[in-house]
Amino acid sequence: MYPEYLVAPMRQELVDAGFQELKSSEEVEAAIPSEGTVFVVVNSVCGCAAANARPAAKAAVNNEKHPDKLVTVFAGMEKDAVDKAREYMLPYPPSSPAMALFKDGKLVHMIERHMIEGRPAQMIADNLVAAFDEYC
């Protein structure tokens, strides 16, 4: 685990954008399989989370069509919550950062780390917006 003082600003960046932090497997179980659309960001301390993933997620949720719920789990911190979220993301392997869109509890769109690294935040945001336009 990372020191909380280190990850606090990274957590806050998504919370300030309207995301709810899920810190237990029970919170994940209550959020993801619900009706409607749920956007999950697996947050991370890595550079591609800071430069690409979080800015893309924040930009995409400003789209006219956006998910009903915005939630986040933090890799390297709340292990049970992250593990539970990743169960819902199967068959995709564990990845952080990562982003997943669920509709009525079913995974409908996934962005893995390899799709985040080295890509501009706007390109990732455009990918998310297309998914939001289709499913939300």
Q: What is the DSSP string of 49-96?
A: IIIIIHHHHHHHTTSSS--SEEEEEETTT-HHHHHHHHHHTTTSPP-S
At 11 the pLDDT is 94
The answer to pTM > 0.85 is yes
Q: In this predicted model, which residue has the larger pLDDT, 1 or 18?
A: 18
48 is catalytic: yes
CA distances from 109 to 80, 99, 102, 105 (A): 23, 8, 7, 12
Catalytic residue among 32, 38, 48, 81: 48
Catalytic residue among 7, 46, 60, 70: 46
Chain-wide mean pLDDT for the chain? 95
Beta bridge partner(s), residue 100:
40, 110
pLDDT of residue 110 exceeding 90, the answer is: yes
Confidence of residue 34 (pLDDT cuts 50, 70, 90): confident
CB count, 10 Å around CB of 48? 19
